[in-house]
Structure 1
Amino acid sequence: MIRAGVVGASGLAGGDLIRLITQHPDMELTFLGGSSNIGRRPAELHANLRIDLGLTVQPVTEEVADQVDVLFLATPAPVSNRLAEQLVDKVPAIVDLSGAFRIATPERHDRWYPKVDRRADLADRFVYGVPELVRDQLKEASLISMPGCYATALTLSLAPLTLGLGLDLKTVVVDGKSGSSGGGLQLRTSDLHPFRSGAIAPYAPTGHRHAAEVGDFLERAKKGSIDSLTMSAYGVSHVRGLLTSSYVFTDEQVDQRELQRAYTRFYKGERFVRVRRNNETLIPVPDPQAVLGSNFCDVTVLKDEEGDRIVVLAALDNLIKGAAGQAVQAANIRFGLPEESGLTMQPVMPA
């Protein structure tokens, strides 16, 4: 049994980590960490978790290394940076859900995370944890940085084009729409119900740090190239789920049949990436509704002949495949467990 700890136990991703780990056949939750809710039980923090594990939230000290095999950090980036420095080489595996170590290139990291002054030697050791693309690296990793929710959808959208077909992409323009849970539990005026309900709020219309991390990862992964990757992000009124629409322009000629075959081949055998045809169900897909509560990412690729572009759509639950579920998936690989352990739940619909 793998002993697991969660730091940031009171947050949204922390709550889903607790839920997933307590249902996991091969993991045992042995530690809850935090700073603002010391002494509180999971059931006090999360209304859906009426469970008594005999655990309360505790301060994080180096003694946690004696209590866990894997420590999940569902904490803000500066906190994750501090805890990683404190616990590296003491805890067998640290899985960080923040942005502290997602961007490997120092200059790009400093632009998007100026408040995270990380050690270069520590940053170099983190594996960017997209399980479908770095599975072999995860098997021996002691430090894993999980992609952001948008970044997960984008990386899985674009990898078949760059890493699979080896295309050189001139321009990728991304439209991203996410529910309110993507912003966590911070209190902001724009997230109050009178303003968020029914809204399509352009909170990052000219750039997003998740696009920066995708570009950083795919550049280092090589094969094809992306000259320009830009993103506009919108908050919509639902709570869970996100959809990315990637509009891809390239001088290389590919048709719909070749694209469909490339995506199907690239993700053949992958448990959690479902390559779908846009019209295969009664409602058009991908739709975030069709993945809620699950670890699936649904991906659809289309050739727009009129616009001479490739359109790639991806939908996922931002708190599961975009956070807690993917983190558990990465930990499963790290400890030699079946990749789907604790993650076999089907989506809930309607949501």
Structure 2
Amino acid sequence: MTRVAVLGAGGYAGGEVLRLLLAHPAVEVAQATSEQHAGKRLDFPHPHLRGASTLRFAPHDALEPCDVLVSCMPSGELIRRWSQVSPLAARIIDLSADFRLGPVDHARWYPRAPRPAELPEFVYGLPEWAGARLKDARWVAVPGCMAHAALLGLLPLVRAGLVRPEMVVVDAKTGSSGGGATPDRSSHHPERASALRCYRPTGHRHTGEIEAATERFTGTRATVHFSATAVPSVRGILATVHAFAARPLEDANEPLRALASTYREHPFVNVLRANASASPFPEPGPLSGTNHCDLSVDVDAERGRIVVNAALDNLVKGAAGTAVHALNLMLGRPETEGLGFRGLHPL
């Protein structure tokens, strides 16, 4: 059994990491830390874990050595604690934004939390694209949830040379859980429950993440125009990627073939086809609690526009599930192990 500790496990993503790991056949959850909930049982902030474990939260400073550390701390915290935390685990998986970008890009998009150049380079943990590197990785950075959805839709088109990389528009819709467990004015339920607002029309940090990851995996640097919109739901991401054809398409199904061939061997990405089901367009609801992403693609041939929709659960495929997926690959385990939940319908 691989001994795993979860650092900062009191929030929503931490709760989902615990849910998945407590049921994982090859993992022992050795420790979970939370300053706010130190001494309390795991089900105190996470009622869905009732009866799943007798473990109690420890304070961060009581973290003990383990085989793998999964950090669910807010951005900036793992960087700050790196010298104390890193000697305690041979492998570290981070769900924050601390190590998704190199020092230069990080300083641009996260000016309040600079990343020192002497810190190690993490593998960008998009399993469908970084699988080979994850098998030998010591440090892994889980992608941001909205960036994750956009990249799964965009990367096959860029790699196939189907779209103009200098003009990519991403409109991402997100539920309230993406704001974390600590409420503020914008995420407090009375303010958010019926809200439909574009809260970051420009300058969102996922812009740089999508651009850097596109170059990393395809060799082409994209120029991304990203906006984020808050919708009245708790879980879920729906990212709509608008790209423009780089050349006349052989036929309208060429983008669909690029997506389908890319993900044919990947169990957690489903490419939806028109008339194949009653719901041929992705929506987050049926994916709640799962590690799946649904994709669809449409072509406006007259205007040369290719539109990909990508839906996923921001807390699972966009966070905890990808951490466990990466862990499986790092340990040489079957990549679907512990991730078999198929979702619910209707909700």
Task: Report the residue type matching 1:47 in the other structure.
Answer: P
The CA deviation at 1:89 is 4.7
Query: Which one of the candidate residues 280, 284, 287 is aligned to 2:283?
Result: 287
Tell me, in whole angstroms, the C-alpha distance in 2 between the residues paired with 1:263 and 1:17.
Answer: 29
Contact 1:167 1:224 in 2 (8 A): no
CA gap 1:246/1:278 in 2 versus in 1, 3 angstroms: farther
Tell me, in whole angstroms, the C-alpha distance in 1 between the residues paired with 2:158 and 2:240.
Answer: 17
Question: How many residue pairs are counted as aligned between the two chains?
Answer: 346
Tell me, in whole angstroms, the C-alpha distance in 2 between the residues paired with 1:279 and 1:209.
Answer: 36
Q: Which residue of 2 aligns with 1:304?
A: 300
The CA deviation at 1:163 is 2.5
Contact 2:259 2:271 in 1 (8 A): yes
Query: Which one of the candidate residues 101, 104, 125 is aligned to 1:129?
Result: 125
Identity over the aligned pairs, expressed in percent?
A: 40
The CA deviation at 1:210 is 1.4
The question of 1:208 aligning with 2:204 is answered yes
Pairing 1:132-171 to 2, within 5 Å after superposition: 132-165=128-161, 167-171=163-167
1:37-77: per-residue Cα shift (whole Å, max 9, x none)? 21111011211211263321112348622xx2111111111
Gaps of 5+ in 2: none
1:134-154: per-residue Cα shift (whole Å, max 9, x none)? 111111111100000001101
Tell me, in whole angstroms, the C-alpha distance in 2 between the residues paired with 1:300 and 1:175.
Answer: 15
Gaps of 5+ in 1: none
Query: Which one of the candidate residues 101, 112, 116 is aligned to 2:109?
Result: 112
Contact 1:127 1:137 in 2 (8 A): yes
Contact 1:294 1:343 in 2 (8 A): yes
The CA deviation at 1:263 is 1.0
Contact 1:172 1:230 in 2 (8 A): yes
Contact 2:150 2:239 in 1 (8 A): yes
Query: Which one of the candidate residues 330, 333, 338 is aligned to 1:342?
Result: 338
More divergent stretch after superposition (41-50 vs 217-226) = 217-226
More divergent stretch after superposition (52-61 vs 228-237) = 52-61
Tell me, in whole angstroms, the C-alpha distance in 1 between the residues paired with 2:173 and 2:230.
Answer: 6
Q: Which residue of 1 aligns with 2:234?
A: 239
Q: Which residue of 2 aligns with 1:95?
A: 93
Query: Which one of the candidate residues 319, 324, 327 is aligned to 2:323?
Result: 327
Give the alignment's TM-score, normalised by structure 1: 0.93
1:238-282: per-residue Cα shift (whole Å, max 9, x none)? 101110001002432223221111111111110101111244322
Tell me, in whole angstroms, the C-alpha distance in 2 between the residues paired with 1:194 and 1:167.
Answer: 42
CA gap 1:311/1:150 in 2 versus in 1, 3 angstroms: same
The alignment partner of 1:271 has SS state of coil
Quote the RMSD (CA, aligned, Å): 1.7
Give the alignment's TM-score, normalised by structure 2: 0.94
The question of 1:276 aligning with 2:275 is answered no
1:289-311: per-residue Cα shift (whole Å, max 9, x none)? 12111100111122112332110
1:204-243: per-residue Cα shift (whole Å, max 9, x none)? 11231112101111123344442x2011111111101110
1:88-141: per-residue Cα shift (whole Å, max 9, x none)? 35411100000011112x332112212223221324x21000001011111111
Tell me, in whole angstroms, the C-alpha distance in 1 between the residues paired with 2:14 and 2:278.
Answer: 34
Contact 1:279 1:285 in 2 (8 A): no
